[in-house]
Chain A
Amino acid sequence: MDENATFAQIRREIEDNPVVLFMKGTPVFPQCGFSAAVVHALSQLGVKFKGIDVLVDPSLRDGVKQFSQWPTVPQLYVKGEFVGGCDIVREMYESGELKTMLEEKGVEYAG
């Protein structure tokens, strides 16, 4: 899959789904502590999100890093906008900023 196909796939995912988490593994079986930490934060808030496992497709794994100009996975998108990696999402979750941002972007959550 060449770069623009990967970028097109990424763009489609983040436009079609309000909350997208590019991660290692799946929400049920995260394969990395950092990915698991973001899944935990989202689950605690009761946010529906689409988990996309970048381990199954190496071009996706590199593509997401170039697309967002962010060198690591996991990567969280809300309403098409890159929010951050594990550190930022955890910091926002603990400070309540994540909840505020979800409200501002009109994303339902149960928390």
Chain B
Amino acid sequence: MAMESSEIEHLIKQAIPDARVTIEDLRGDGDHYSAYVISAEFEGKSRVQQHQMVYRALQGKMGTALHALALQTGVPEGA
């Protein structure tokens, strides 16, 4: 099972509208991605909470359709 990077980006933006998302397909198999997500909504949240927000946005696809997502999150510069 695999996912398109556009689908990942769409799901994240649906749940986190202001998110700036950069996705890289690590192995070209649609199963191992890295994603860098920037959003003001992460402000004041711990790293774990930020990642949990992204996982919730992926609506259970993480760990099922999507085997690996190397995730990095942050708030916009000067936020």
Q: Which residues of A contact B (CB under 8 A)?
A: 34, 65, 69-72, 82-85, 87-88, 91-92
Task: Tell me the bound Cα distance from A88 to B68 in angstroms.
Answer: 14
The answer to whether B62 touches A69 (Cβ under 8 A) is: no
CB pairs A–B below 8 angstroms (29 shown) = A34-B68, A65-B63, A69-B52, A70-B48, A70-B51, A70-B52, A70-B55, A71-B55, A71-B60, A71-B62, A71-B63, A72-B62, A72-B63, A82-B48, A83-B48, A84-B47, A84-B48, A84-B51, A85-B51, A87-B51, A87-B70, A87-B71, A87-B72, A88-B47, A88-B48, A88-B51, A91-B47, A91-B72, A92-B47
Nearest 8 Cβ contacts at the A-B interface: A71-B63, A71-B62, A72-B63, A84-B48, A71-B55, A87-B71, A88-B47, A87-B70
Task: Tell me the bound Cα distance from A87 to B51 in angstroms.
Answer: 10
Q: Is the interface of B mostly helix, strand, loop or mixed?
A: mixed
Task: Tell me the bound Cα distance from A69 to B62 in angstroms.
Answer: 12
Q: Which residues of B contact A (CB under 8 A)?
A: 47-48, 51-52, 55, 60, 62-63, 68, 70-72
Least distance between A94 CB and chain B CB atoms (Å):
12
Task: Tell me the bound Cα distance from A84 to B51 in angstroms.
Answer: 9
Residues of B within 8 Å of A71, CB to CB, are 55, 60, 62-63
Least distance between A63 CB and chain B CB atoms (Å):
14
| Nearest B residue (CB) for A82 | B48
Task: Tell me the bound Cα distance from A65 to B60 in angstroms.
Answer: 11
Residues of B within 8 Å of A87, CB to CB, are 51, 70-72
Residues of B within 8 Å of A91, CB to CB, are 47, 72
| Nearest B residue (CB) for A92 | B47
Least distance between A96 CB and chain B CB atoms (Å):
14
Task: Tell me the bound Cα distance from A108 to B48 in angstroms.
Answer: 23
